[in-house]
Amino acid sequence: QKIVLATRNRGKIAELSAMLGPLDVEVVGLDAFPEIGEIPETGKTFEENALIKARAVCQAAGLPALADDSGLVVDALAGAPGVYSARFAGERATDADNNAKLLREMATVPPERRSAHFVCVVAAVAPNGATVTARGTWDGEIARKPKGQGGFGYDPLFLDPELGMSAAELDPEQKNARSHRGRALRKLMDIWPDFWKKISASP
């Protein structure tokens, strides 16, 4: 059985692919479906957006699809950038643009108010309508300057207080073991057999 990974974010593709090994499914990338264009993420929650992406790709590809909607929630910024994390500095913003904006907005925030967390919701949808979602979070703090070369997105600015390292300083296995995406994926794996049974059932 095949499943389409409904994301164009290379960082997510690397992390999700590495963790999907145990599921005994063939993971197909969106590259195999050039006809699938931008999917408007109109939801107000991570759950809504993950489902929007998984449903759109499932319908277009005619195969089960797995989507990830994720982002950084910063307490001192009243939860921003949240579901707008990819577009924090504008519609075509790069990771560097977004990180620069985050540093600017946090410039005057004292150490004791720099708490934040990452959120990841993964959603899988099958052609017969079977649906499953799982959420993971990762608590940390926003650094004063970027550290580390690994990961993607806001990783160089996200400090894990227990390790005293940024997410970009962790190797991929260490990051997956602690991250919002790793936690969401492990929860998904727990409920996967049930979902897979529903996939083969008639609608």
Contacts with ligand ITT, residue ranges (CB under 6 A):
7-9, 12, 41, 53, 68-72, 85-86, 95, 98, 118, 151-155, 167, 179, 181
CB 65 → ligand ITT: shortest distance, Å? Answer: 11
Distance CA 101, CA 77 (A): 12
**Residue written as token pair 């004292």:** 110
Q: Is 180 labelled as part of a ligand binding site?
A: yes
CB 114 → ligand ITT: shortest distance, Å? Answer: 16
Burial grade of 190 (CB within 10 A; 0-12, 13-18, 19 or more)? exposed
* Nearest CB to ligand ITT, comparing residues 187 and 198: 187
Q: Is 155 labelled as part of a ligand binding site?
A: yes
Q: Is 12 labelled as part of a ligand binding site?
A: yes
E runs forming strands in 48-104 = 65-74
Q: Which residues pair with 120 in a beta bridge?
A: 70, 136
* Nearest CB to ligand ITT, comparing residues 30 and 132: 30
Both tokens assigned to 177: 């073991």
Count Cβ neighbours within 10 Å for each residue of 140-168 and write b for 16 or more, e otherwise: bbbbeebbbebbbbbbbbbbbeeeeebbb
> Starting from the edge strand earliest in sequence, which strands make up the sheet with 65-74, in order?
26-28, 2-5, 65-74, 115-125, 131-142, 158-160, 165-166
Q: Which residue is nearest to ligand ITT (CB)?
A: 153
Q: Is 98 labelled as part of a ligand binding site?
A: no
CB 181 → ligand ITT: shortest distance, Å? Answer: 6
CB 202 → ligand ITT: shortest distance, Å? Answer: 30
* Nearest CB to ligand ITT, comparing residues 49 and 126: 49
69 is catalytic: yes
Q: Is 117 labelled as part of a ligand binding site?
A: no
Catalytic residue among 68, 69, 95, 160: 69
Binding-site entries for Mg(2+): 69
Catalytic residues, by residue number, are: 69
